[in-house]
Chain A
Amino acid sequence: MAQVTTDDYDRRQRMRWWSMRVVLYGLLIIWAIICLFPIFWTLTTSFKVARNVMQGDILPWIEFTPKWLGWRSLGLSPDTIANISTVREEFLKRFFNSAVISVSASALAVMLGSLAAYGLSRFSYRFGFMRNSDISFFFLSQLILPPVVLALPFLVLYKELALLDTRIGMIAIYTLMVLPIVIWIMRDQFASVPVELEEAALVDGLSVWGAFMRIVMPLVLPGMVAAFILALVLCWNEYFFAALLTATDAKTLPVMIASQTGSQGINWWSMAALSAAGILPLVFIGVLLEKHIIKGMTAGAVK
Chain B
Amino acid sequence: MSTADGDLLHTVDADNISDDRRRLGRLLHWGAVALMAGLFLVQALYESGTISFGFETWRPVLAGYILWAIALCISRVMIYGEQGKKSLFVLPAALFVISMVVFPLVFALWISFSDWNLASLTGRKFNGLDNVRQMASDPFYWNALYNMVLYTLVILVEYAIAFGLALLLNAEIRGRKFWRVTFLLPLMLSPVAVSWMIGKSMLEIRFGPISRFVRWLGWENPSFFSSPELAKFMVMAMDAWTFIPFMMIMILAGLQAMPKEVLEAAEVDGATPWQRFWEVTFPLMLPVSITAVMIRIIFKLKLADIIINVTSGGPGGATDSVTSFIFREYRDRSNVGYGTLLAIVYLIIIVIFMTILLKLSDRIVRRVTGAG
Contacts and interface: CB of A to CB of B under 8 A. Distances in A.
A127 B336 CA distance: 34
Interface string A181-221: 00100000000000100110010000111001000000000
Contacts of B189: 39, 237, 279, 282-283
Contact of A42 (B82, B179, B197, B304): B197
A41 B3 contact: no
A240 B292 CA distance: 23
A271 B204 CA distance: 14
Given A120-B90, A124-B7, 9 more contacts: A24-B173, A28-B179, A38-B241, A41-B197, A45-B201, A146-B301, A161-B57, A208-B82, A261-B196
B82 A294 contact: no
Nearest to A113: B93
Interface stretch (B129-137, B260-268, B319-327): B319-327
A123 B188 contact: no
A183 B90 CA distance: 11
Interface of B: 1-12, 56-59, 62, 82, 85-90, 92-94, 96-97, 100-101, 104-105, 107-108, 111, 116, 118, 164-165, 168, 171, 173, 177, 179-198, 200-202, 206-209, 212, 241, 245-246, 249-250, 253-254, 257, 287-288, 291-292, 295, 298, 301-302, 304-305, 308-309, 322-323, 326-327, 330, 336, 339-340, 343-344, 346-347, 350-351, 354
Contacts of B308: 239-240, 243, 258
A151 interface: yes
Interface in A31-48: 31-32, 34-39, 41-42, 45
A123 B82 CA distance: 12
Contact of B108 (A35, A153, A279): A153
A168 to B, nearest CB: 10
Consensus secondary structure, chain A interface: helix
A148 B9 contact: no
B336 A156 contact: yes
A301 B305 contact: no
Contact of A275 (B188, B197, B291): B197
Interface size bracket, A side: 35 or more
A54 B10 CA distance: 71
Nearest to A236: B190
A121 B304 contact: no
Most chain B CB atoms below 10 A, which of A32, A34, A268, A286? A286
Nearest to B351: A144
Consensus secondary structure, chain B interface: helix
Which A-B residue pairs are the 6 nearest by beta carbons? Answer: A119-B89, A237-B190, A116-B93, A298-B253, A286-B188, A254-B192
Contact of B309 (A159, A258, A266): A258
Contacts of A24: 168, 171, 173
Contacts of A123: 3, 7-9, 86, 89
B66 to A, nearest CB: 11
Contacts of B245: 35
Contacts of B7: 122-124
Interface in A134-192: 135, 138-139, 142-157, 159-163, 172-173, 175-176, 179, 183
Contacts of A49: none
Contact of B57 (A31, A118, A160): A160
25 contacts: A25-B173, A32-B183, A41-B209, A123-B89, A145-B101, A146-B301, A146-B323, A147-B323, A148-B322, A149-B108, A149-B346, A150-B108, A151-B327, A152-B339, A156-B107, A156-B336, A160-B58, A209-B88, A233-B187, A233-B188, A236-B190, A283-B185, A290-B180, A293-B188, A301-B288
